[in-house]
Amino acid sequence: MRSTILTWATGFLIGWASLAANAEKFPHLADTPAMGWNSWNTFDCNVDESMIREMADAMVESGLKAAGYEYINIDDCWHGERDAQGNIQVNKERFPSGMKALADYVHQRGLKLGIYSDAGNTTCAGYPGSRGYEYQDARTYAEWGIDYLKYDWCDTENINPIGAYTTMRDALKRAGRPILFSICEWGDNQPWSWAQDVGHSWRVSGDIYPCWDCELSWGSWSSWGVLKILDMRADERLRQYAGPGHWNDYDMLEVGNGMTEAQDRSHFTLWAMLNSPLIAGNDLRNMSDATRDILTNRDIIALNQDPLGVQAMKYLHQGELMIYVKPLEGGDWAFMFLNRGDTPLSYTHDWAHHFEVKDDQFGHHINFHDQQFTWRRLWRDGEGDTSKPLRLKLAAHDVAVLRLSPVR
């Protein structure tokens, strides 16, 4: 009898421990923000396997892979119907070789494959969602060799967001293949306040649109330009929640999708400073040199991928000028000067006047009276130090970025 009770108790403990082990997301999949490419911003629903293969090739050939990009993510519309057992299938016309073969192709190039689903009955484009099929879908994705899941929030009336996203997190964990979990519920339910242990990133806004400061209304919802997303969500309220393994996602990049070069440069710098995932959204097969140079700028990417993982904070907003600062590993700091306005701007930054920088949320401080820094300009040549004022000329919608290092 005693041994029966002991066996039973041990079994219970093991069962409980394995369940508890499942009740967490996969660790270390996003110690720094994810970098990759996603089909939606350029291709909308027009996805198929040959385009995705070509994009994987282009990621390697263009130098994006060498710069750190790794995920090839298929957004909405890859789906076929569920089969008689409820297994989700690919659209066989668009993906005749199947998803497993596509994942193999992507993996052979040293890259990873991402896919898209939705917490509701249907995706935003009306394909089958994962509601009620979470564990089954997660198993299918794992069998296919998927590495990243973007999980959307359409058709979810009366569903509890924390419950829905936690269920999919647990399903992924149970399926056993490390899959980065990218939450996409547009910031409607303040995911920053509950999703740290659920996902590896969470969208903070509605969809991005390739414009500087516009709002494009679709009736019940809008798409947003770069400054609109910035003003809506790049603040102290959200930054405190981001860190290694869990990031605010300011949406996929629109670099190369129709904005001016200055706007693209500023957009990319802002997303890097904010530790947003850097998911390119242009056609990698035929981008201009200017677009490629922006997407592969190693100095800017290094700000995004800095191991300290502290999101930039707004330091000054004066007319059309904005300054964001970002503490970096080893005592370095990034200073970003942004001209939001439509005309060129001349600005002199006197370090002796703005001598204090205080990041109370993460405990990083500068006092330029006590500590001198050298600086190096990113995006273009230039060096100096904080003993004399910095003179800047910023073109409309353009940016200047300095990397400061303490003089020891």
Active site residues: 152, 207
Q: Between 103 and 124, whose beta carbon lies closer to ligand GLA? A: 124
**What b/e readout covers 237-246, taking b as 16+ CB neighbours within 10 angstroms?**
ebbebbbebb
Q: Between 152 and 170, whose beta carbon lies closer to ligand GLA? A: 152
Does residue number 40 form part of the binding site for ligand GLA (CB under 6 A)? yes
Q: Between 205 and 269, whose beta carbon lies closer to ligand GLA? A: 205
For 33, the 3-state DSSP assignment is coil
Can you tell me the distance from the alpha carbon of 190 to that of 241, in angstroms, rounded to the nearest whole number? 11
Residues 110-129 binding ligand GLA (CB under 6 A) are 123-125
From candidates 184, 229, 273, 402, binder to ligand GLA by CB under 6 A: 184
Can you tell me the distance from the alpha carbon of 249 to that of 322, in angstroms, rounded to the nearest whole number? 21
From candidates 137, 152, 254, 283, binder to ligand GLA by CB under 6 A: 152
Return the number of other C-beta atoms located less than 10 Å from residue 258's C-beta: 11
Q: Tell me how far, at minimum, the Cβ of 220 lies from ligand GLA, in Å.
A: 12
Q: Between 223 and 386, whose beta carbon lies closer to ligand GLA? A: 223
Residues 194-213 binding ligand GLA (CB under 6 A) are 207
Q: Tell me how far, at minimum, the Cβ of 30 lies from ligand GLA, in Å.
A: 18
| CA atoms 151, 153, 154, 157: torsion sign | positive
**Residue of 265, 295, 292 lying closest to 278 (CA atoms):** 295
Token pair 């490419």 is found at 37
Q: Between 254 and 306, whose beta carbon lies closer to ligand GLA? A: 254
**How many residues belong to the site for ligand GLA (CB under 6 A)?**
9
Q: What is the dihedral of CA 187, 166, 308, 276, to 10 degrees?
A: -30
Does residue number 75 form part of the binding site for ligand GLA (CB under 6 A)? yes
Residues 328-347 binding ligand GLA (CB under 6 A) are none
Return the number of other C-beta atoms located less than 10 Å from residue 270's C-beta: 22
Does residue number 76 form part of the binding site for ligand GLA (CB under 6 A)? yes
Cβ(208)–Cβ(191) under 8 Å? no
Can you tell me the distance from the alpha carbon of 178 to that of 387, in angstroms, rounded to the nearest whole number? 49
Q: Tell me how far, at minimum, the Cβ of 332 lies from ligand GLA, in Å.
A: 33
Chain residues in the site for ligand GLA (CB under 6 A): 40, 75-76, 123-125, 152, 184, 207
